[in-house]
Structure 1
Amino acid sequence: MSGPYGVTQGTGGPRVRAGGAGAPRAHPGAGRLVGEWDGPVAVFRGIPFAAPPVGDLRWRPPRPAARWDGERRAEQFGPAPLQPQPPSDSVMYRTNFADRHALVMSEDCLYLNVWTPDPAPGTGLPVMVWIHGGGNRYGHGSQDIHDGRALAGRGPVVVTLNHRLGALGFLAHPGLAAEDDLDASGNYGLLDIVAALTWVRTHIAAFGGDPDRITLAGNSAGAAHICHLMAAAPTARPHFRAALGQSASGVGRAEGPLPGPAEAQKRGLAYAEEFGGRDVEGLRRISGVELIVRGHFGPVVDGRILAEPTDAVFATGRQHRVPLLVGSNRDEGTVYASADEDAGAVGDARFVGPVWQWARSHAATGTPTWIYRFDRRPPLPPGLPELPDPGVHHTAELPYVLDNLDRRPDWPWQDTDRRLAALMADTWARFVATGDPGGPDLPPWPRFTGPRTSPAMFFGDTVRQDVLSRPAPPD
């Protein structure tokens, strides 16, 4: 059916019983898949894009997935990466993790999911590959909030994916470097994302997608990963032709540039001391569950995928020059500021400022760039503790951009929320299709130019162009 801005939307209700004769089928390189219909959209869940990173493959770059014979049922999500969970009564949990299906986790987690409006090979549809957030500690590609049905109903193929998290995804250690042909360690989660992108570019035509029209999109830590991949070694760059990042960045980070190999491996040794100074083989014998509950990890300059700090690449204009759409929320810091901190200052330092720097340094190359501010306070669900109002908190935009308000049925959504979600999903779909968020039946959106007062699109109770003020950039 047609959306309010002229872009086709999906409708609910399965078309055919799962696995039946009319179920959608696809044949990527590893074997045949049978999925199911979700309204007019075909969905294939739990597709392995790499070998299970277990046993001796823990803390190694991902290896190709094994082939299979016959038809593989692709109706259930694969396991999520091992991870802790935020408190169940927190606004972050209720926004991101309050799913209808049980959370199944495993170290065997390298699976992706595909939603497509037309699974016929060679259809040539644009593709959006979505990377979840979660601070490199939480999240997975099968969360309800990342469901791809509504956006796929607007025309693109949508792919979500898992990658290794925490120490399993990002531990750097001299023992791991000694095993590596480039003396690299860390960034296994980033390498998982590149492996998934490689799989998508190789096989997405079997699901109706165009391998030359892939947009890499994500929020929070996922957005920061996209920024790093724009600066990454050339092996990552051919796999996407546009980028969309929400509420985080890999440049201008509050904690400073990425650590280099020596610093990262020193931190890895300190982490190993928590387990009695185990060497790598000893660490591989420890339960993955025990490993992921300790420490905080993220990307590093490893010498394999990231040869230098992302800030340095963007400062000299050597990043992947693809159309870029980025933005942040009005009250990013409310769920992170301590009682004696100013939430606005925390939000600016951790989210708003780095995103603005990402846009500014990219626009400086003359590459098309757009920036937004999400300004709509979502109506919170019942059952949250009496806390200060989180406002337009970090990740508040997520139910809107993929038009997934119905995935949170206990939230008291209003007509304004539904209209805004439809408009934002239409806009995101247009960017995926064309590399430009504007177009017929959508609000005109001027490009970001980079000075201290720059045009931005504000998505709130009303949708408008306004000035996104920032301090004067340094000379």
Structure 2
Amino acid sequence: MSTDQVRTRVASGALLGASAGGVAAFRGIPYAAPPVGPLRWRPPAPPAAWDGDRPALQPGPAPVQPQPPRNSIMWHTNFADSRALVMSEDCLYLNVWSPDPGGGGLPVLVFLQGGGNRFGHGGQEIHDGASMARRGVVVVTLTLRVGALGYLAHPELAAEDEHGASGNYGPLDVLAALRWVRENIAAFGGDPDRVTLAGNSAGAAIVNHLMAAPAARGLFRAALGQSSAGIHRGEGAMATQEEAQQEGVRALGPLGAVPLEQLRRLPPVSLLLDAHLGVVLDGRLLTTDTTEVFEAGHQAAVPLLVGWNSDEGALYTPAGAADALRERVTSGPHARVLAPHYPVGPAEIAASARAFTSETRFGGPVWRWARTHVDTSGAPTWVYRFDHAPPLPPDLDLAPPPDGGTGYGVFHTAELPYTGDNLDCRRWPWTEADRELARVTADTWARFVTDLDPNGGALPAWPGFDTTPEARALVLGTRLRVEPVPRVAALEALATLPRPL
């Protein structure tokens, strides 16, 4: 495939990208100033301008982060890239793919990768936007701060901030990128009034939170969330600023007593903490729990497409989960509610433990995101379930599931090669059925971004979601079908219980 040089200009200066196969790609574009030195743990600042033509041929570096084990299904699916991984605290860059950078009016998809707020970056090959761009969509991926550099709340950070805010630097990066898109996407043929914000896993949760954030209002006209939510979370309510600051100091461990001025001078690898920090009530971006915002109907009333995978729990059900579930449904405080939905007989308990993990961490919160949004905003909403296991190579160096079960099924992130029609980024034994499902799924996502309605093409008629027990979902599998939301009685039962369980 021949490659041609292509040029455009954004507010900061001129960019030189590459065009191949009918798509122009511009990679490694700074959307904010490097968050280093005195800018560590501050809201993102505007990028500096440059003179002359800036090459935009390679993604920017990933944020400093650990990596999943190389024998994990998560690594093989998301991180086993052909490019060597380059990491730096100077990481606030984005990538743009356009089918017509000289045109105008094209819909725009801004996609946020997952990674539990600890891993991931906008240059991952599984998130390459060329296939989606060939469907008439301008695609943007971006890298945001993760781990302690992206989420640390701390008393000294709050004390120096005009709002008394700390934490949420990663989501603030996303807000800065959306503002950059608003100002610059026309230079790539995109329409700033036709932006859809999408994400997978932790990225989907950020989408959910930004629907609740007043500062993000008007920066996107639709939302798409895959396999996570920021409301009705399994871990309970969002941390207050005081709670988040206390957790931040605890997470720092021996560094907890180090003054902020010195913390800002430490090498970033010193801040790879063994802690799961995430989105909190920071006092700037988010001042009210996102669940409360949605329940009051104060979120952005935009069209929404959300869903989850059939076997999300396969990756996250720990050893001993079956015994813990047996206790919950036989003698725990919620046994009467849980027992009908999670049988614990010898032949059933392993599957029940995985289902419980999936439905408390993934499917349940996503379903309630859709239901609450419909109930309080009335905005059109669609729910899907991805139900196709990718064909893993038999010789793949792969650790067994943590619960000791056999196989991963349709695991967390299994849909990603299909939603972006990027099967060829992994040398797996794809079949024509896989390729057809990837075509259909990516077409569906592109229609939603373009028309604010995913219906059409090869899909059966897919009605909008409603709040009744008969609400229907699209099942994306070898056989496409529309049916009632699976295990909705279990989801209804979980919704009656306090969090955390």
Q: TM-score, normalised by structure 1?
A: 0.94
Q: Which residue of 2 aligns with 1:52?
A: 34
- 1:391 maps to a residue whose letter is G
Question: 1:47-196 counterparts in 2 under 5 A?
Answer: 47-120=29-102, 123-196=104-177
Q: Which residue of 2 aligns with 1:26?
A: 8
Q: Which residue of 1 aligns with 2:391?
A: 379
Instruction: State the Cα distance separating 1:37 from its structure 2 match.
Output: 1.1
Aligned counterparts of 1:440 and 1:470: Cα–Cα separation in 2: 28
Aligned counterparts of 2:381 and 2:102: Cα–Cα separation in 1: 33
1:347 equivalent to 2:335? Answer no
Q: Compare the two structures and name the one with the higher helix fraction.
A: 2
Aligned counterparts of 1:258 and 1:401: Cα–Cα separation in 2: 30
Instruction: State the Cα distance separating 1:227 from its structure 2 match.
Output: 0.2
Question: Which of 29, 42, 55 does residue 24 from structure 2 map onto?
Answer: 42
Residue 61 of structure 1 aligns to a residue in which SS? coil
Q: Which residue of 2 aligns with 1:463?
A: 480
- 1:110 maps to a residue whose letter is L
Aligned counterparts of 2:32 and 2:235: Cα–Cα separation in 1: 32
Q: Are the equivalent residues in 2 in contact too, given 1:91–1:384 (CA < 8 A)?
A: no
1:447 equivalent to 2:464? Answer yes
Q: Deviations over 1:398-457 (max 9, x none)?
A: 000000001112x11111100000000000000000111013554321100022332000
Q: Which residue of 2 aligns with 1:407?
A: 425
Q: Are the equivalent residues in 2 in contact too, given 1:272–1:279 (CA < 8 A)?
A: no
1:306 equivalent to 2:319? Answer no
Question: Which of 355, 361, 364 does residue 372 from structure 2 map onto?
Answer: 361
Residue 472 of structure 2 aligns to a residue in which SS? strand
1:246 equivalent to 2:226? Answer yes
Aligned counterparts of 1:197 and 1:285: Cα–Cα separation in 2: 29
Identical aligned residues as a percent: 56
Q: Are the equivalent residues in 1 in contact too, given 2:72–2:399 (CA < 8 A)?
A: no
Residue 243 of structure 2 aligns to a residue in which SS? helix
Question: Which of 314, 325, 333 does residue 334 from structure 1 map onto?
Answer: 314
> Residues 29 and 345 from structure 1, CA distance in 2 versus in 1: closer, same or farther, beyond 3 angstroms?
same
Aligned residues: 454
Aligned counterparts of 2:470 and 2:237: Cα–Cα separation in 1: 25
Instruction: State the Cα distance separating 1:27 from its structure 2 match.
Output: 0.5
Question: What 5-or-longer segments of structure 1 have no aligned partner?
Answer: 1-12, 17-22
- 1:318 maps to a residue whose letter is H
- 1:429 maps to a residue whose letter is A
Q: Which residue of 1 aligns with 2:2?
A: 14
Q: Which residue of 1 aligns with 2:190?
A: 209
> Residues 412 and 441 from structure 1, CA distance in 2 versus in 1: closer, same or farther, beyond 3 angstroms?
closer
RMSD: 1.3
Instruction: State the Cα distance separating 1:88 from its structure 2 match.
Output: 0.6
Instruction: State the Cα distance separating 1:252 from its structure 2 match.
Output: 1.1
> Residues 91 and 57 from structure 1, CA distance in 2 versus in 1: closer, same or farther, beyond 3 angstroms?
same
Aligned counterparts of 2:17 and 2:275: Cα–Cα separation in 1: 38
Q: Deviations over 1:108-127 (max 9, x none)?
A: 00000000000015x11000
Q: Which residue of 1 aligns with 2:252?
A: 272
Aligned counterparts of 2:13 and 2:460: Cα–Cα separation in 1: 43
Residue 466 of structure 1 aligns to a residue in which SS? strand
Q: Deviations over 1:371-420 (max 9, x none)?
A: 000000111123233622000000000000000001112x1111110000
Question: What 5-or-longer segments of structure 2 have no aligned partner?
Answer: 322-352, 401-405
Aligned counterparts of 2:280 and 2:163: Cα–Cα separation in 1: 15
> Residues 302 and 414 from structure 1, CA distance in 2 versus in 1: closer, same or farther, beyond 3 angstroms?
same
Q: Are the equivalent residues in 2 in contact too, given 1:84–1:293 (CA < 8 A)?
A: no
Aligned counterparts of 2:73 and 2:188: Cα–Cα separation in 1: 36
1:220 equivalent to 2:201? Answer yes
Q: Which residue of 2 aligns with 1:437?
A: 454
